[in-house]
Structure 1
Amino acid sequence: MDRKRIYLCLAHMSGKEQDFIKEAFDTNWVVPLGPNVNAFEKSLQDFLIENGKLKIENEGKQVVALSAGTAALHLGLILLGVQAGDEVICQSFTFCASANPVTYLGATAVFVDSEEDTWNMNPVLLEEAIRDRIAKTGREPKAIIPVHLYGMPAKMDEICAVAEKYGIPVLEDAAEALGSEYKGQKCGTFGKFGALSFNGNKMITTSGGGALIVPDEKAKKAAMFYATQAREPYPYYQHEKIGYNYRMSNICAGIGLGQMTVLEEHVAHHRHVHELYEQAFANVKGIELKSNPDERFNANYWLCTILIDKEETGVDCEELRVFLDRKGIETRPLWKPMHLQPVFAGSPCYVDGTSEKLFEKGLCIPAGPCVTDEDVAYIVSEIKSCICK
């Protein structure tokens, strides 16, 4: 009997999505506004802003549902005033969508390498980059975009301290980190703005889609203005600024509302899968599973990741990837750093080799809501089989 292929992170439906979608069709709310959009934004806001102290600190924050996480980053940069000729500091070890919106605006991405504890933006290199850019250009970068890679929170205390020291706003890329926490606070709520993604393989999905977390109602209105083609408040169509068609549809928001009913369940399942891997690889030489560095970090483990030591295992990550693919297991290399990408060949970068080493040795392994305990046992068994050979 053929085993069903195991994917990294398939979408999982709650069963309630159809109800919200049907209501949208029944009421003819099939446009980029409507009750599902409003309710989805409110549900996300309630999830992100905890009770007690964190609620007081973040009580003004709002959520704007958009067509993609990339759209959220783009609008965040616009609201921060980024223009052609500016510089924006970006994490090098990430997906290209973290940096592409900088280029959309005619600005320059300045790449900073990772630290080994979280694989995210190195605060020491961040400050080094800021000082050097000021020395070279005579002005501070306009924004800093740290990424919570694979759901692992970045060192936000250190990053925000550097940002505050030089008066540079932070735009968090929390596309992979919905449900992740740093010191009990949800990722995406530390910076002035935060971006989320609901792509098909994320913690929850709206089939596509994303959201921008903004500091207050005024910023929400500005984001919605730019997200709806920057139409001025006249009875006719008047446009004094360039806008975008970035708003989420009521249909997609209906999917999101259904997904919110299983979000906590999804996060718990990813953490459970990670725990199974942690137990299974505890005594396996040459396989290192990425885990929370200490009690401050509470990753959602959107994707579980491993580093393969070829000297210990006899195989490199590409050989293991091909072997597992033949066994019906989808894996993926870690992100190729942006400073190595041909499209960003001319961008300034401040690196120490960390992300290049991780790219060379790392692999993402299945962790989604459709991955069962039996799947994990099979995956671990095949990995051990490969390295024993």
Structure 2
Amino acid sequence: MSRETISQSISIVHPISLSHGKNAEVWDTTGKRYIDFVGGIGVLNLGHCHPAVVAAIREQATQLTHYAFNAAPHVPYIKLMERLTAFIPVDYPVSGMLTNSGAEAAENALKIVRGATGRTAVIAFDGAFHGRTLATLNLNGKVAPYKQKIGVLPGPVYHLPYPSADNGVTCAEALKAMDRLFSVEIDVNDVACFILEPVQGEGGFLALDIAFAQALRRVCDENNILLIADEIQSGFGRTGQRFAFSRLGIEPDLILLGKSIAGGVPLGAVVGRKALMDNLPKGGLGGTYSGNPIACAAALATLEVMTDEHLQAWGAQQEDLIVGRYERWRAQGLSPFLGRLTGVGAMRGIELANADGTPAPQQLTQLLSLARDAGLLLMPSGKSRHIVRLLAPLTIEPTVLEEGLDILEACLRQLTR
């Protein structure tokens, strides 16, 4: 199957061609089966072809396949926004808009905060990933490969260290860097917003320091700065809760959604304080495909399945199995390259590191190949591409999860210098 017509600037992690999937398993065009710990990079928290999602798509496809909501509103969009805003665990009135993707949600959030504050400066974090569009590139806390050869990016954007027990950056260090930023680089009164991931995805599944999150919320409140939580990868049950910001004891002003919002169908959203969402003039928000009826139907079915009881049970099951295995591997000295376990809940990463603690990206590349050959798909992350992301569907059968961890264990044991 030729790929000559596809841009070579798209990087491929696994050089295979998939044909179909079911829950946590996929098959390639040769008929080979794989256990999927990638989940479409966090899109498939409910697995491949969840029956409720498939049924909703089929039913909606017989009624209305598309209408631009800003031309004429349609029922699936209205129903979804009612359900979605009720799903957001905050105490203030919520409204929002649907988008085609997480990056588009981030772009619209930047417009919203500019309109609300009259300011333009944004503060993001080292290791962050918020998208591949021109404005979101500048938010990303990593140059290669996202910002290379692109030139001047929309701004102004500043970056701070991301404090987490998973990377060794302390709350005090991050706050000191913030003080320096406001003394040397930019007046605090010119800052429109902070944008952060409660658990970094591309950054290596690093969980934000709780004390820092609460201190940041106070800084924002004291200086009329808005706080955006990017829950595109960490949301919809990935950590065992609806959204990862809940563990931080704060409420963001705007929340970016995407990935697992619609069971694999392209959809995103930006939601938040109603006064913020309503501040732009009529026509300031919208989009031709944003909130497509089929995507809305898939999202409604997804939210029906994602009860708190289900999310907690699924998250606890994965966390127990992954943490238990990891601790056993460490106790056994399974591999000299087995580093830290990062993340929270079912959003976990495994670091590959050398004896001196430096990243071991070559061994991660080895691991990806060994695991694929053995029937397990894995995804890299981290600044040095040295942390394995574990993104199995939350709905994965325990026996399949165990099988995947068995393969991972065997492959870790085979790593060489």
Same fold per superposition (TM over 0.5): yes
1:28-65 deviation line (CA, Å, top 9, x unaligned):
4621331111111111122223xxxx5xx32x122322
Q: Could you say which residue in structure 2 is the equivalent of 1:144?
A: 194
Q: Residues 254 and 153 from structure 1, CA distance in 2 versus in 1: closer, same or farther, beyond 3 angstroms?
A: farther
Q: Residues 106 and 183 from structure 1, CA distance in 2 versus in 1: closer, same or farther, beyond 3 angstroms?
A: closer
More strand by share: 2
The answer to which of 181-190 and 90-99 deviates more is 181-190
Which of 285, 298, 301 does residue 255 from structure 1 map onto? 298
Measured in 2, the distance between the counterparts of 1:187 and 1:78 equals 26
Which of 68, 75, 89 does residue 32 from structure 1 map onto? 68
Measured in 1, the distance between the counterparts of 2:269 and 2:327 equals 37
Q: Could you say which residue in structure 1 is the equivalent of 2:352?
A: 308
- Is 2:106 aligned against 1:73? yes
Q: Could you say which residue in structure 2 is the equivalent of 1:61?
A: 94
Contact 2:126–2:161 (CA<8 Å) still a contact in 1?
yes
Measured in 1, the distance between the counterparts of 2:66 and 2:257 equals 23
Q: Could you say which residue in structure 2 is the equivalent of 1:289?
A: 341
Q: Residues 187 and 137 from structure 1, CA distance in 2 versus in 1: closer, same or farther, beyond 3 angstroms?
A: closer
The answer to which of 306-315 and 371-380 deviates more is 306-315
Q: Could you say which residue in structure 2 is the equivalent of 1:113?
A: 161
Question: Which amino acid letter does the alignment assign opposite residue 311 of structure 1?
Answer: A
Shift of 1:370: 5.7
Measured in 1, the distance between the counterparts of 2:282 and 2:351 equals 42
SS in 2 for 1:76: helix
Measured in 1, the distance between the counterparts of 2:64 and 2:312 equals 33
Question: Which amino acid letter does the alignment assign opposite residue 341 of structure 2?
Answer: L
Q: Could you say which residue in structure 2 is the equivalent of 1:340?
A: none
Question: Which amino acid letter does the alignment assign opposite residue 36 of structure 1?
Answer: P
**Which stretches of structure 1, 4 residues or longer, exceed 6 Å deviation after superposition?**
82-85, 186-189, 312-315
Question: Which amino acid letter does the alignment assign opposite residue 250 of structure 1?
Answer: P
The equivalences for 1:120-269 within 5 A come to 123-140=171-188, 141-148=191-198, 149-150=200-201, 154=208, 155=210, 156-178=213-235, 179=237, 180=239, 181=241, 185=246, 190-197=251-258, 199=259, 202=260, 204-205=262-263, 207-216=265-274, 219-220=277-278, 222=280, 225-228=283-286, 245=288, 247-264=290-307, 265=310, 268-269=313-314
Q: Could you say which residue in structure 1 is the equivalent of 2:149?
A: none
Q: Residues 218 and 291 from structure 1, CA distance in 2 versus in 1: closer, same or farther, beyond 3 angstroms?
A: closer
The two structures, once aligned, show a CA RMSD in angstroms of 3.8
Residue-pair matches, total: 334
- Is 2:140 aligned against 1:93? no
Q: Could you say which residue in structure 2 is the equivalent of 1:332?
A: 379
Q: Could you say which residue in structure 2 is the equivalent of 1:276?
A: 321
Question: Which amino acid letter does the alignment assign opposite residue 328 of structure 2?
Answer: N
SS in 1 for 2:158: strand
Shift of 1:95: 2.5
Q: Could you say which residue in structure 1 is the equivalent of 2:370?
A: 323
Q: Could you say which residue in structure 1 is the equivalent of 2:34?
A: 5
Contact 1:62–1:214 (CA<8 Å) still a contact in 2?
yes
User: Runs of 5+ in structure 1 lacking a partner?
Assistant: 229-243, 293-298, 337-358
The answer to which of 306-315 and 12-21 deviates more is 306-315
User: Runs of 5+ in structure 2 lacking a partner?
Assistant: 1-30, 140-152, 331-337
Measured in 2, the distance between the counterparts of 1:218 and 1:116 equals 29
Shift of 1:22: 5.3
